[in-house]
Chains A and B, each alone.
Chain A
Amino acid sequence: MKILVPLKRVADPDNANKVKIPAGGATIDTTGLEWKPNPFDEYALEAALRLTENGASPKARQGEVVVVSFGPKDMEPTLRSALATGADRAIRVDAKDDQLDGALVARALKALIEKEKPDYVLMGKQAVDGDSNQVGQMLAQLLGWPQATFAATIQEEAGALLVGREVDGGVLTLRVKGPAIVTVDLRIVAPTSVFSKSTARTFKYNDGVRFAPLPAIMAAKKKPLAEVKLSELTSDTALRVEYVKFEPPPGRQAGVKVKDVGDLVHRLKNDAKVL
């Protein structure tokens, strides 16, 4: 099985208070921000690794996992760290963040996918910076592939993936045959969320994303990391989304003490206006 995992780097959400918005609010100042992989994409990578191994002996890889990211050269450590955890190859599409929007990334990914011909594309349901939640769906439309979004569980069975989606009324299970797009939710990294065809159904993974031991980190430096120009993938580099204005969230107001339930309801109705 060959799986392609698009991976975006985002500003570390733990340091969100370091995000600066210059006067005018037209852009975000990214100097001094620490970067890390979008958590949902890390979960997608973990799911892809689980689908291409027997959980009991993960060193023997049973498929190919290719990670791809859009960004400047200084984002390569993010790709190398994906290689260290077990991905086989990495591709960096050279681009700056402000040259991109979801639609353009989807168009470029389409061209790359047609070249790479993966069986599945696994990706995070959304990036935690823009929270757009659209690239996976757009990509499925552009490719004409089936999609299963917000996957909480994936089981490989009879040449297809059984994808469990948590919906309001319970769990919806889809059977998707590759090639297909699967976007993942956070529960995909729970101990019994993903089973490849060779992993015993009684096997339990450690909760969360796997760690890369030092020898794997060193070996990852020798794994292939290709660079592709954005213009090689799409001639249409026009942006469909224009950022009009950035504003920091309003500072937290001091709380108030309420006398009784009547006062609470009154304030919820008239001050907070949530009732």
Chain B
Amino acid sequence: MQPLFETEVHAQLRAQARRFAQQEIAPHARSWEEAGEFPRELYRKAAEAGLLGLSFPEHLGGGGGDLALALATSEELLIHGRSVGTVVGLGSLAIALPPLLSLGSEEQQRRFIPPVLAGEKIAALAITEPSGGSDVARLQTRAVRQGDHYVVNGAKTFITSGCRADLLTVAVRTGGEGHGGISLLVVERGTPGFRVSRKLDKMGWWASDTAELSFEDCLVPAANLLGAENSGFLAILQNFATERLMLASQCVAIAQLAYQETVAYARERHAFGKSLTGFQVLRHRLADMATRIAAARALTNEALHRLALGHDVTALAAMAKNTATDMCCEVCDQAVQLHGGYGYMREFLVERLFRDARLYPIGGGTREIMNEIICKLEGY
């Protein structure tokens, strides 16, 4: 079924993303996930195929499209590439670069964005700290202006693509307490005093690296400040709203993949003299999976469509994220269950998807924070 609101352009991009995923990702999916890394070369290949930065302006090397186009392609990359870690690693620029677009000067945009969209450099977003993630307004990494530089001290953690990133959009405290004292700085690899302190071992998303970063008297040129001092918080919030829709859409794709794998398995696997789909209790479970996926997709697409129409989708995006992340965890859990013992084995895709899925109710704003946003906007 052609997705609602989608055009011939979406269909063509989907077809190309599918081809790219089948050729360049799927054959290596398992080995990259097991190795905990995919080759850097893939960024350049994805850029050449026009799949990086679809929603960024053309004059900066982007595709000039919107978020819905970017998400349609990422859905294809997930379903046909069969490696969540690889796709989210490739996609870290989609959360790292938007603050540069909203706050950065033309000169900063021209300097930092095109090499990332060409796949030559890797970009990451660094907000969360060891002492807290949800409570962004209380972040502690401090940047003190000294002449032409900021001296940055502090630490960041859970940073997707942080180990290999060439440039990071880093949230720092330049002013007083609370959200009014936060700025965004672009920190480049090789800046004195900046280092990757640890590559973190995670439950899922293995093919994408996740870093702990440390800043010790790190000297960042003042020219790398995005926007005015202490104006970073709003850009961070705006970035979160689209990130939530990205995560919701990833959940729909991951669940769809887990569902497809399970339907294929249930058709082939025989027990008590018939295939698993021959048992009403099991095929109803498949029907429930399909239904929940369709519901989450519908809500995510509504939020995306409203965003394109210019509506405020803050609450809707939070609802879509919670709906999709809950759905994805449940569908992947059922996928493992229907695979029986094989579902617990690393050689089966659903085992990995089950682990990948668990990130989503946490990352990009936890399930609980989403509910707080909804409460606030609903007025209670």
Contacts and interface: CB of A to CB of B under 8 A. Distances in A.
A81 interface: yes
B20 A217 contact: no
A213 B63 CA distance: 7
A190 interface: no
Interface string B56-72: 00100001110001000
Given A212-B16, A214-B63, A215-B58, A77 B23 contact: no
A80 to B, nearest CB: 7
A211 B63 contact: no
Contacts of B50: 211-214, 216
Nearest to A213: B50
A36 B11 CA distance: 11
Contacts of B13: 214, 217
Contact of A77 (B12, B16, B51, B63): B12
B345 interface: no
Given A211-B48, A213-B63, A218 B12 contact: no
A211 B58 contact: no
Interface residues of A, number: 15
A212 B17 CA distance: 11
Given A206-B48, A208-B23, A214 B69 contact: yes
Contacts of A80: 8, 12
Interface string B1-39: 000000011011101100110010000000000000000
Contacts of A214: 9, 13, 50, 54, 63-65, 69
Given A36-B15, A208-B23, A215 B63 contact: yes
B64 A218 contact: yes
Given A80-B8, A208-B23, A215 B64 contact: yes
Contacts of A206: 45, 48
B49 interface: yes
Given A77-B8, A206-B48, A217-B9, A211 B64 contact: no
Interface in A201-224: 206, 208, 211-218
Interface in A66-99: 77, 80-81, 84
A84 B16 CA distance: 12
A84 B12 contact: yes
A62 B327 CA distance: 52
A220 to B, nearest CB: 9
B8 A211 contact: no
A11 to B, nearest CB: 14
Contacts of A208: 19, 23
A157 B129 CA distance: 62
B12 A211 contact: no
A172 B64 CA distance: 46
A128 to B, nearest CB: 16
B94 to A, nearest CB: 15
Nearest to A37: B15
A217 B16 CA distance: 11
Contacts of B63: 213-215
A201 B115 CA distance: 28
Contacts of A217: 9, 12-13
A80 B12 CA distance: 9
Contacts of A77: 8, 11-12
Contacts of A211: 16, 19-20, 48-51
Contacts of A215: 58, 63-64
Contacts of B49: 211
Interface in B53-97: 54, 58, 63-65, 69
B13 to A, nearest CB: 7
A264 to B, nearest CB: 27
A208 B49 CA distance: 12
Contacts of B9: 214, 217-218
Contacts of B20: 211
Contacts of A36: 15
Interface in A31-47: 36
A248 to B, nearest CB: 18
Nearest to A77: B8
A81 B23 CA distance: 19
Contacts of A84: 12
A218 B13 CA distance: 11
Nearest to A214: B63
Interface of A: 36, 77, 80-81, 84, 206, 208, 211-218
18 contacts: A77-B8, A81-B15, A84-B12, A206-B45, A208-B19, A208-B23, A211-B50, A211-B51, A213-B50, A214-B63, A214-B64, A215-B58, A215-B63, A215-B64, A216-B50, A217-B9, A217-B12, A218-B64
Given A81-B12, A217-B13, 20 more contacts: A77-B8, A77-B12, A80-B8, A81-B15, A84-B12, A206-B45, A206-B48, A208-B19, A211-B16, A211-B19, A211-B48, A211-B50, A213-B50, A214-B13, A214-B50, A214-B69, A215-B58, A215-B64, A216-B50, A218-B9
